[in-house]
Amino acid sequence: MIYFNTDYMAGAHPKVMERLVQTNAEQTVGYGSDDYTARAKELVKQACGAPDARVYFLVGGTQTNATVIDGVLAHHEGVLAADSGHINVHESGAIEATGHKILTLPSYEGKVKAEDVRGFISNFYSDDTYEHMVAPGMLYISFPTEYGTLYTLSELEDLSGACHDAGIPLFIDGARLGYGLAAEGNDVTLEDIARLSDVFYIGGTKVGALFGEAVVITNPDLLKHPVPLIKQHGALMAKGRLLGVQFETLFTDGLYHEIARGVVQKAIRLKDAFVAAGYKVEVDSPTNQQFFRLPNEVVDRLKENVGFEMWGPRGEKESVVRFVTGWTTTDDEIDQLISYIK
């Protein structure tokens, strides 16, 4: 059996694991006040070209989204997001549980359009009853999106402009950020992400860490009391240095990007193989998530030897499926998969 279900099926990249083992018996102060965490923060800031940013490490994505969004929004504000956004679909109402509405925008293969953001905001304030409605207080986007797609630099600049013209911050969910940055054709750098957003996070869980997400706050006016906010959200790790050790490793000698490049290359081999075999690409993703529309008999046959996910309900004749590569995916596994679809 070979697995393409998702990118969090295995533990940590061997180098990350090795460092956790090496440092295991050391004693450090708790809650991220240790030297590993301090060095990791510096490395992350350097990688972002954002020396004045503030960096905090949290454990998982849903918790990070809820903590950041709750911390940024005022009481009467909601968060703009694609209706397909992870926060709107797959976080068990974690955002609403903090008291805030998700204001949905149309999703174009997971992406939102700056013109829709501008339109929403302009319609909102032109409505006489806007004080009885939930004000758009920030924009949430994911890069890559839940469909593996990417914003171009120009699109990102436009979105950033739409937010800043309206005086609201832009938050980028980078749970799979590495895979976006590593994608062929991508023209967005980590520095661009840092420069164009107000707060974003660099996902570790899905890109080589055992767990962990690095929140980078570039807007100095946001999230002025992050520690109690994170603690209150149950997201402050006692052994905070576990996160520091991991991100220090990932951001030393470009390991984070190296992992991502390898994973994306395998995803593209996989996509090319499906295309070569004559199957339909459902969403043209340049990252590590690939979506195909396969005949049901192919789906059923593959299921015997390969793990992958149905994407939506089974169709009458064809179904959409998702294949994801991760740091454990080998070229052998891709070859093996190719042998099944030829």
Instruction: Answer whether 329's CB lies under 8 Å from 24's CB.
Output: no
Answer for which of 41, 45, 54, 100 binds its own copies (CB under 8 A) is 100
Tell the smallest beta-carbon distance from residue 189 to its own copies (Å): 26
Tell the smallest beta-carbon distance from residue 125 to its own copies (Å): 12
The interface region with its own copies, picked from 21-29, 106-114, 138-146, 294-302 by CB under 8 A, is 21-29
Q: Which is nearer to its own copies, 276 or 310 (CB)?
A: 310
CA angle (309, 312, 314) in 5-degree steps: 85
Phi, psi (deg, nearest 5) at residue 36 = -60, -45
The interface region with its own copies, picked from 110-118, 191-199, 236-244, 284-292 by CB under 8 A, is 236-244
Binding track, positions 174-213, relative to its own copies; x by CB under 8 A: -------------------------------xx---xx--
Helices (H), the chain: 14-22, 35-48, 61-72, 86-89, 94-97, 114-126, 153-165, 177-181, 190-196, 226-232, 241-250, 255-276, 296-303, 331-341
Q: Which is nearer to its own copies, 30 or 254 (CB)?
A: 30
Q: Which is nearer to its own copies, 26 or 187 (CB)?
A: 26
The interface region with its own copies, picked from 59-67, 107-115, 165-173, 185-193 by CB under 8 A, is 59-67
Which 240-259 positions form the footprint of its own copies (CB under 8 A)? 242
Which 26-45 positions form the footprint of its own copies (CB under 8 A)? 26-31
Cα separation of 55 and 52, whole Å? 10
Which 118-147 positions form the footprint of its own copies (CB under 8 A)? 123, 126, 128-129, 131-135
Number of residues that bind its own copies (CB under 8 A): 80
Instruction: Answer whether 115's CB lies under 8 Å from 49's CB.
Output: no
Which 63-92 positions form the footprint of its own copies (CB under 8 A)? 63-64, 66-67, 70-71, 74-76, 78, 89-92
The interface region with its own copies, picked from 13-21, 153-161, 254-262, 276-284 by CB under 8 A, is 13-21
Cα separation of 200 and 267, whole Å? 25
Cα separation of 18 and 13, whole Å? 9
| CB-count burial class (<10 Å; 0-12, 13-18, 19+) for 45 | buried
Which 303-342 positions form the footprint of its own copies (CB under 8 A)? 307, 310, 313, 328
Q: Which is nearer to its own copies, 30 or 220 (CB)?
A: 30
Tell the smallest beta-carbon distance from residue 220 to its own copies (Å): 16
Cα separation of 99 and 221, whole Å? 21
Q: Is the dihedral of CA 38, 41, 47, 50 positive or negative?
A: negative
**In the structure encoding, which two tokens stand for residue 231, read together?**
């603690």
Tell the smallest beta-carbon distance from residue 276 to its own copies (Å): 26
Q: Which is nearer to its own copies, 221 or 278 (CB)?
A: 221
Cα separation of 296 and 303, whole Å? 10
Q: What is the CA radius of gyration of the chain?
A: 20
Answer for which of 183, 236, 294, 302 binds its own copies (CB under 8 A) is 236
**In the structure encoding, which two tokens stand for residue 233, read together?**
């959200």
Answer for which of 42, 49, 96, 164 binds its own copies (CB under 8 A) is 96
> What pairs with residue 192 in β-bridges?
none
* Amino acid type, 137: G
The interface region with its own copies, picked from 144-152, 234-242, 264-272, 273-281 by CB under 8 A, is 234-242
Q: Which is nearer to its own copies, 99 or 220 (CB)?
A: 99
Beta pairing class for 102-105 and 77-82: parallel
Residue 163 binds its own copies (CB under 8 A): no
